[in-house]
A and B are shown apart, each in its own frame.
Chain A
């Protein structure tokens, strides 16, 4: 982000972060099994960094808990994300980051589906198709420059 370049969307809307998930007594109980739920998936992806801004996807409202849908017993996860502007060129990258984060953080029994919230992006279908294609996702991660950006989005920000 050098001095000369201008951001596509320099002054985006900012949303509030939700607090940490509250601990309940059953969380501490050895014998109770906690199923993987929507909030847990949301907690995985909400802290992903935006590629352009020093903000998380949650703060930009790109991901929302109501757009996360998980069925633990059927081992499926579906996540919809909303680019901040309809022409956002970062949409694929953001989708890829979400997908990679879930691939790394969920047991491999899960089938992971990441797509754009319907009607929020100009080239929605193309992006969705790219994200759904296993081969293309794998190929993208072979590209070290792309992998670098994705890793930066997924690393905890150092202050």
Chain B
């Protein structure tokens, strides 16, 4: 059989950075082909080249045996290639229908979208996707936005769908749905290129091509390989997939939350009386589907969100209503889930981001003047210690890959915090190497008697790291499990809001 797509010796450079170095692989009709690689390995870049968004410096891309000469997404779309980008490209103030139709031939000079709507509904029925075409994008949860992106590609007649980390923002259930859809598509002879860091996704593909530092390490049949083997190819060494959590006695309570209430930005109550205690030398995991109040909880704890009631104590001192600056000074560190929105200033260089929030303190500032030598030394040390891959400490943070950006935040918060670390989805979108690193660091902080509050949508991560797991649902803590007694099924039920399931397991 002839491959649908053949990528041959493609090289792509950004100035001095070689993002793809003679990359070759092919995709068969009806295949789910996975691209796997560390953060910054060049997965998104090769995908953009196939989509015609970036122009390769060397090499050829062939579609159904014909050299494609892709110079614009227009060519790619015409040849049946569709792409869902790592960060969605939707217009949030417009309707689903408008987002799908824009730029296609369904958009006549004078818009009449009825015919288009009928065709979209048709596609929706085929894949069992039910979505309100008149809804505006901002009204939809991210999971649904993902369907919009897929419909967008299918509507344009995509035969090959490139999905750049589609499951990073999905709940486990939504991810399962997504793969169901993929399988229906491949049954129709369509192909999927899937970029993902999650082995649950990777293992559902037909073949895997592993990239490391811009080069292809190899392509393997998924059935004939294992997680461990893939990890080895990807990182170039073996990675401990299961963390080793040694016993460590927990100390006195260091973070005590009582009956905490808060609303989201639109005034809707998102925290309805949270009770939570974190002790020294303990990791407390928060399990829950995104959007159940995790973000609001962390923001309230660090002082960035007004509370509507309840109290927060840090090492005995009441910090309710204090400013983030004060709370940080009192020893709390925070790793937010949205790196670039809340954790970093993308246009600042790495060294500035590394001292952000602590820039007024010695040794970074003296008598109101920044001490550049101290800042630079600190930055160089952090870059070396955390193996942040960047040309220098003055590189713009925005140009870092997800994993390296995360390391900058970790370096800053871990260096400054003295008592408590808050981490919201710290491993989202990161490769196994960086995740392993994150976990080691969190456990090290635990050994140093920090109290750690960790939210994650990955139950495995929590089961591996946390001493206790609480489940959050609609702004309430529904159940609490000790590390040993935690049962995935029960936690799953609680995450879906079935309250009775966990009661029996509750410990005091």
Partners in one complex: no
Which residues on A are within 8 Å of B, measured CB to CB? none
